[in-house]
Amino acid sequence: MIQTVTIDIINDKALKLLQDLELLQLIRMRKEKAPLTATSWTERYKGAMSKQPLTEIDNQLNELREGWE
């Protein structure tokens, strides 16, 4: 019978104990995908926007600001 349990490790000693249990073939540990970090976020969306000249960006921002006034 296989059961899946999710735990939060708050002490490195607990991780060592779990690794020992895995060596004894009593449990199997799996790593979950890491949450989206700043680095992976930039890699994921890199190139999604085309490069624009700074003056064009300034013009667009000014148009947006004028729309709020």
Q: Which regions in the chain score pLDDT beneath 50? A: none
pLDDT at 27: 94
24 class by beta-carbon count within 10 Å (0-12 exposed, 13-18 middle, 19+ buried): exposed
How many other β-carbons are positioned within 10 Å of the β-carbon of residue 21? 13
**What is the pLDDT, as a whole number, of residue 32?**
74
pLDDT at 44: 75
Identify the pLDDT of residue 69.
67
Only one residue has tokens 């700074």, namely 54
Evaluate whether 22 touches 29 at the Cβ level (below 8 Å).
yes
Give CA–CA dist 21/9, Å, rounded: 15
**pTM for this structure?**
0.45
